[in-house]
Structures are given as C-alpha cells and as structure tokens.
C-alpha cells in the first residue's frame, strides 16, 4: 500500500487486514493493520497521509541477549564519544535474559517519515531541538560533533518525504506524538522497551535481527553500514519481519519510552515493564544506516539524554488497546 497520494478529510477509518498468523511457543501472533487518515497540503495539493498501525497480540518471551554475543558492545565510534549525552556501556546491559510478558498493543508499521513530521511542523510551527539549539550530531571521521546546518530538514544527506525523519530528540518525538494524539483523538505514545523488543522479534521469537538470524540475509531486511551508502532510505523498502513491521532493524535508530538503568534487567517486573521511574537517559533501539550489524541486533540498547539528536536517530509510535 502506498503511503502517498490518498484522498479525503481527517477521519477515523478502521480497516482491519489479517496479514499473517503464526504460532510460536503456543502463542498466537495475529497481525492486523489499523489505518487512520490525516490530510495535509503538499505542493499546493491536498494529500492524505495514512497512519498504519500493526496490532501485536501480547505474550511472554525471553528478553535480552539470548544469543550470548553482546560482550564488548562498544565500537570505536562510541569509544571516541566525548559528549555528555551518551551513557557508555558494555554488552552487560543486555543481561540477564529474563522472562517478560506484554499485553496486546499497536505499533507503527513504519518509522515516522519526513513527510509526516513535516505535516506536524507546518500545522504547529514547531522548531526542533536541533533547530533552536546548535544543530545535530554526525560523525566527522574522528569524532561525533554537532553541525548547526544539520536538522530534520537537512540531516547531511539527500532525503525525501518518504525517508524516516532523523535529527529528532526524545523530546521532539513526544511533542509530535502529543500533537498527533490531539489531532486524531487517539492516544499514541512511544513503545516501551519491552514492547519494542517483542515486536521487533516478530512476537518474541528467537530472532537476532528483525526477520532473520542469518547475517548474510540482513541486507534483505534492513539498511546498515554495509548497504546504506551513507544515508537513510525510504521507509518500507526492505522485507518486513514476521509481524509485517518494516525497518525495525536499521535505517534509523528508534527512541523508546523508558528511562535507562544499566541494571534494570536485574529487577524488572515480569508483566508490562515500564522502565525506571526516573533517570538521565532514554533508550534507542534497532541500529541504523550508519552502524554495523552488531549494533543492529534487536537486543542492543543505547542510552542517550532526552535532548540528544543525531542524523541516524528517529522514532516510531505505539498505542495501547485499552
């Protein structure tokens, strides 16, 4: 289904499409698509931008580094980090593996795109943290540094409205989601870290990357440093995972709701964990066009301050069923 050139006003349209049914560990994973429609003006024409959400049937799974390959999780680009935005960590933050159960929820079929974010900015006049501050981080060849010319409109590479938005902070993402919730009357939010991992693993399956365990197949499912050619790509161009979700591995990192505590896995509740009640860092997941297959592993966790922005970082949103 194309994400552009659809017609109509702002309305609540519920279309349920059964995409796939699979059974794993006696849990029925039923994938449905929820489509809502918003109108916007693009190049002088009224254009509809569908919000496509995938229904995820809840269940229990083993969360964390189930493959045992998370040690020495920092690559040279992270070791070179000198800013205060990033909490250095090793693979230990992916352990211990622990059983988690999540309720039913919806999650975005795609990462939020430049076009969708542009609709929000055009409607509200919002300025992102990169725009009102000192730009967006990128890799200079020797260190991560901000560039005032970089922001969601110009992250440092060519993009169009179908690319995932980047250079947005956790705070920017929350403001966008609050606007979208007000606009549609639906209560959207960022996914919890547990929901994100469960969905990325096709409903809690033992998957290293979203859709596959085989590294030679990774280029079929996601954009990362070996195939991206140094930029993002239109959302949804690779294969989906088993739930019909696109780009859960690669393209851009994705913010999740939780605060970060490197020891949280030791004390996490089993049912619907929400993360620590406070903290200094939020988490992003999933790898990106810039980073390696190791960082693109589903269980890889990266903590940054809520005002951090980078040309390889975006988000998708979720919703509860209740």
Q: How far is CA 144 from the centre of its chain?
A: 21
Other beta carbons less than 10 A from residue 40's beta carbon: 17
Give the C-alpha separation, 81 to 315, whole Å.
Answer: 22
Indicate the pTM of the whole model. Answer: 0.84
| Residues present in the chain in total | 322
**Alpha helices (runs of H) in the chain, residue ranges in sequence order:** 76-79, 114-124, 129-132, 170-184, 193-200, 218-221
Note down pLDDT in tens along the chain; length 322 residues: 434 333 333 333 333 333 333 434 333 334 444 554 444 433 444 344 458 999 999 999 999 999 998 765 454 444 444 445 555 555 689 999 999 999 999 999 999 999 999 999 999 999 999 999 999 999 988 899 999 999 999 999 999 999 999 999 999 999 999 999 999 999 999 999 999 999 999 999 999 999 999 999 999 999 999 999 999 999 999 999 999 999 999 999 999 999 999 999 999 999 999 999 999 999 999 999 999 999 999 999 999 999 999 999 999 999 999 8
Are 108 and 316 within 8 A, CB to CB? Answer: yes
Query: Tokens 């979203």 appear where?
Result: 210
At 68-87, the pLDDT tens digits run: 987 654 544 444 444 455 55
How many Å apart are CA 229 and CA 38, to the nearest integer?
32
The H-or-E segment that residue 264 falls in is: none
Whether residue 164 contacts residue 310, with contact meaning beta carbons closer than 8 Å, is answered with no
- Partners of 274 in beta bridges: none
> What are the structure tokens assigned to 97, written together?
């593996």
* 3 state DSSP class of 305: coil
Question: CA 91 to CA 73: how far, in whole Å?
Answer: 5
Residue 318 to residues 113, 131, 184, 276, Cα–Cα distance (Å)? 15, 26, 14, 19
Residue pLDDT, tens place only, 253-304: 999 999 999 999 999 999 999 999 999 999 999 999 999 999 999 999 999 9
Q: How many CB atoms lie within 10 A of CB 13?
A: 11
Name the CATH topology of 68-101+111-316: 3.90.1580
């Amino acid at each position: 289904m194309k994400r552009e050139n659809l017609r109509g006003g702002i309305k609540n349209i519920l279309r349920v499409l059964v995409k796939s049914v699979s059974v794993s560990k006696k849990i029925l994973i039923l994938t449905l698509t929820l489509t809502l429609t918003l109108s916007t003006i693009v190049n002088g024409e009224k254009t509809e931008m569908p919000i496509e959400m995938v229904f995820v049937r809840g269940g229990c799974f083993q969360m964390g580094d189930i493959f045992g390959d998370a040690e020495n999780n920092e690559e040279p680009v992270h070791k070179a980090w000198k800013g205060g935005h990033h909490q250095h960590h090793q693979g230990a933050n992916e352990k211990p593996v622990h059983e988690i159960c999540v309720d039913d929820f919806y999650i975005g079929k795609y990462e939020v795109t430049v076009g969708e974010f542009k609709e929000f900015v055009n409607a509200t006049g919002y300025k992102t943290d990169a725009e009102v501050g000192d730009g967006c981080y990128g890799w200079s060849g020797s260190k991560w540094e901000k560039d005032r010319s970089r922001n969601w409109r110009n992250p440092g590479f060519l993009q169009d409205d179908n690319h995932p938005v980047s250079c947005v902070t956790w705070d920017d993402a929350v403001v966008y989601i609050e606007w979208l919730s007000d606009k549609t009357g639906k209560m959207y939010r960022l996914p919890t870290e547990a929901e994100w991992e469960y969905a990325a693993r096709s409903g809690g399956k033992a998957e290293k990357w979203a859709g596959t365990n085989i590294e030679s197949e990774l280029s079929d499912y996601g954009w990362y440093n070996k195939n991206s050619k140094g930029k993002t790509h239109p959302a949804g161009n690779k294969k989906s995972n088993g739930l019909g979700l696109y780009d859960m591995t690669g393209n851009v990192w994705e913010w999740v709701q939780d605060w970060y505590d490197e020891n949280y896995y030791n004390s996490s509740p089993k049912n619907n964990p929400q993360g620590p009640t406070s903290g200094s860092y939020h988490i992003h997941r999933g790898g990106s066009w810039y980073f390696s297959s190791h960082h693109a592993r589903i269980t890889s966790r990266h903590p940054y301050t809520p005002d951090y922005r980078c040309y390889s970082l975006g988000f998708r949103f979720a919703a509860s069923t209740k």
